[in-house]
Amino acid sequence: MRIGIIIGSTRPGRRGEAVAQWVHKLATQRGDASYEIVDLADHDLPHLDEAVPAAMGPENYVGDHTRRWAETISRYDGYVFVTPEYNHSYPGVLKNAIDYLYAEWRDKSAGFVGYGIHGGIRAVEHLRLVMAELHVAGVRDQITLNYFTEFGPNGEVLPAEHQEPVLHRMLDQVVAWSGALATLRQE
């Protein structure tokens, strides 16, 4: 089982990389799946430039960047989205990356780690709606990290004591749902 931890921001000075590293460190200690970080900053995705909607099938992808992105996303059984909250939602770069693909997301599971002034709650809620449209099973438990109380002065993540058990419950759910949906992915 492979789970991709997607850093949903490319903004200079972002805290997503530190958050993803925290998630990755705890996840890899579990031994129940292979966890890898997928950083949107490593994928040169211009504003959506495919003429045919992704729902029409991967055979219609034209851009090399689209094919590379599809190859990256398709190799995972589930995801953990690490997203900041920008203006009551998640970043446009994450929406753009999601919209490039359709079949590659389908019948997988997703967990969510939000961060921001209010813990990224609204960003995650918006992201859940989009994942539902893509037939991705969003799991219940989620992490919400507050800028004022769970980050140090240099951007280091200092999660409250309750966050680690919540992260493990979320990962339990992502792994379980990813396994349960494997049959659908094979059809």
Domain residue limits at 127: 2-186
User: Structure pTM?
Assistant: 0.97
- Count of domains in the chain? 1
What the block records as the tokens of 109 is 């599971």
Helix residue spans in 9-162 (DSSP H) = 16-28, 64-74, 92-99, 121-133
Specify the pLDDT at position 148: 95
Model pLDDT for residues 157-180, shown as the tens digit of each residue: 999 999 999 999 999 999 999 999
Model pLDDT for residues 55-73, shown as the tens digit of each residue: 999 999 999 999 999 999 9
Amino acid at 186: Q
Whichever domain contains 41, its CATH number is 3.40.50.360
